[in-house]
Amino acid sequence: MMSEQGEHNGSAGPGDNSGGASRINRFWAVVITIISVLLVIKWLIPLVSRHITNLPFPLTVPGTLVLFYMTLTLVALFLFITFSDENLEEFLRPIYRFMRGEFGATPRLIVLLLVPLLAGWQVFQMRVPKLEPPVALRIQHPSSNFPKKYEDATNPYDKPSEDDVNAFVSQARAGSISLIRQVQADIEVWQDEHSDEPMLAAINTPGVKQFLAELENGDPSAESARAALIEKNLFEGRALYAMNCRPCHGDSVAGDGPMADGFKLRPINFTDNGTLETIVEGYTFWRVENGGPGLPTEATPWDSAMPEWKLNLTDEERWKIIMAEYDLAGKTPRIPESH
């Protein structure tokens, strides 16, 4: 009986060992599963999608989706390995043997050197600054922070009211018209040479001449007075433009001033059909007011070098400069959509 039992046990043992040897170890099963899932997602799915869609290129799986699938795979494998102590012990057994050097000291040394090097390289790749395109592409007329209150704004000096015209006529009769302080010194020099003429005659334009002639003969018409007032405002605007804007935008307002070549982003060309005529007048005022520092993020990577003119010029002076820019460029502002 004992011999038969021994023979029976002896024959059963090798059968169990051979069955265990034919099964893949849990550790290698996990490794093979991870590699297989990654191969399916990264290569097999794009290859199959190309045949299904008949496109000349494969449809790659987005990186976020790859991360999602791999995370699910790792979670499932973790639950499987830790489901029982036997599975966990079998999974860790090759790792323990490797660390004890049972597979050789040289492979262990190579792996122990490569793992920290690969980890360090991965951290370096994640943290090193990269040359990447800006998140928001630069647009010529950024407007994400454009205040709505400027949408319908119009130049009050380009279209003077009836009260402004009447006040201008009264000042002309009294000889009390004054110009902006920036041109006052030049006007005084002119008056010293033309003491017998009114100060307004320094603006030698047809509209002003006609107004002065009508004023001398009696009562000027509202049309000539309005035209003369606009010419006066335009004269002041051109003077302010020459003092503050000409170095960059040039005499021809084409962005070709003497300082234009010194900027990475050249000053804008106002004579181009895609500039002043494509924006409302209130937007132009807002851009002149805030300059480059007030631009939103989509103005990058080369923000405008224009200063914040609200710090140096009054609202009146900025409006008159804008008036001169449109006149010099021969352009008209876009009509607001609400109109």
pLDDT digits (tens, 9 = 90+) for 88-141: 999 999 989 888 888 888 888 998 899 999 999 999 988 888 776 655 566 666
The pLDDT of residue 304 is: 77
* C-beta contacts of 238-245 below 8 A and 24+ residues apart: 238/324, 238/327, 238/328, 239/180, 239/182, 239/183, 240/180, 240/182, 240/313, 240/317, 240/320, 240/321, 240/324, 241/321, 241/324, 241/325, 241/328, 243/182, 244/309, 244/312, 244/313, 244/321, 245/321, 245/325
N-to-C CA span, the chain? 111
* Contact criterion met (CB below 8 Å) for 45 and 61: yes
**Cα gap 90→256, rounded to integer Å:** 77
> Of 76, 79, 73, 81, which Cα lies nearest the Cα of 37?
73
pLDDT score for 17: 42
The predicted-structure confidence for 45-87, as pLDDT tens digits, reads as follows 998 988 888 888 888 888 899 999 999 999 999 999 999 999 9
Query: Which of 132, 130, 134, 129 has its CA nearest to residue 297?
Result: 134
Distance CA(221)–CA(206), nearest Å, equals 15
Nearest to 281, CA basis, from 251, 323, 249, 248: 323
Helix (H, G, I), strand (E, B) or coil at 271: coil
Question: What DSSP string describes 163-200?
Answer: HHHHHHHHHHHHT-----HHHHHHHHHHHHH-TTS-GG
pTM greater than the 0.75 cutoff: no
Residues 201 and 191: their CA atoms lie apart, in Å, by: 9
Higher pLDDT, 299 or 163: 163
213 compared with 145, residue with greater pLDDT = 213
Q: What torsion do the CA atoms of 138, 144, 148, 149 make, to the nearest 10 degrees?
A: -70
**Mean pLDDT across the chain:** 86
pLDDT at 171 over 90: yes
- For residue 40, give the amino acid letter: V
Half-sphere exposure of 245 (CA within 13 A, CB side): 30
Q: 3-class SS at 280?
A: strand
Average pLDDT of the segment spanning 250-262 = 92
Q: Give 334's strand partners.
A: 280
Inter-residue contact 91 to 81 (CB < 8 Å): yes
Q: What is the mean pLDDT of residues 222-238?
A: 95
Q: Sign of torsion, CA 111 117 121 124?
A: positive
What residue ranges define each of the domains in the chain, with the CATH number in brackets?
23-127 (no CATH), 148-329 (1.10.760)
